[in-house]
Amino acid sequence: MDPKLVIPHREPFLYVTDVTEIINMESAKGVLRLTGEEWFFKGHFPNRPTMPGVLMVEALAQLGAFVVLSEEKYKGKLPLFGGIDKARFRQQVLPGDTLDLEVNLGKMGSKGGTGMGVARVNGKIACQTQMLFILVNG
């Protein structure tokens, strides 16, 4: 599924290439295919291009936003970060890698919710985190 059909993010700040699975208000899987032409590789780092960890967390958050905004009652809302907890970065993500994303939502209310995300490359965990988000009018 094309993430642009649901979330408001656009290039160069769209970090989900495709949503491959969604279970309503529970979880989703998606991918970010990195070509090596992404803007951040030029400066992070010039001699050893590496995807910044915070952008891996952003990719997970965007997939979580896809889950939330797919629900009719949250149409017109915008999920924003309220917090990031226990973020861990386990391996580098390099040009040409495919980042497999998985998000599971936790508690959900009218003003926000929680989620957990894991990003993998070739089955190995690159990033995992817990997220808190708030919902504002879009």
Active site residues: 44
Domain spans in the chain, listed from the N-terminal domain onward: 3-137
pLDDT at 114: 98
Q: Does domain 3-137 have CATH number 3.30.930.10?
A: no
DSSP state of 40: G
pLDDT at 61: 98
pLDDT at 110: 87
pLDDT by 10-residue block (mean), the chain, 138 residues: 97 97 96 97 95 98 97 93 98 98 95 97 98 95
> What are the start-end ranges of the H helices in 1-138?
53-69
pTM above 0.85, yes or no: yes
pLDDT at 58: 98
In angstroms, the CA 115 to CA 110 distance is 15
**Maximum alpha-carbon separation in the chain:** 47
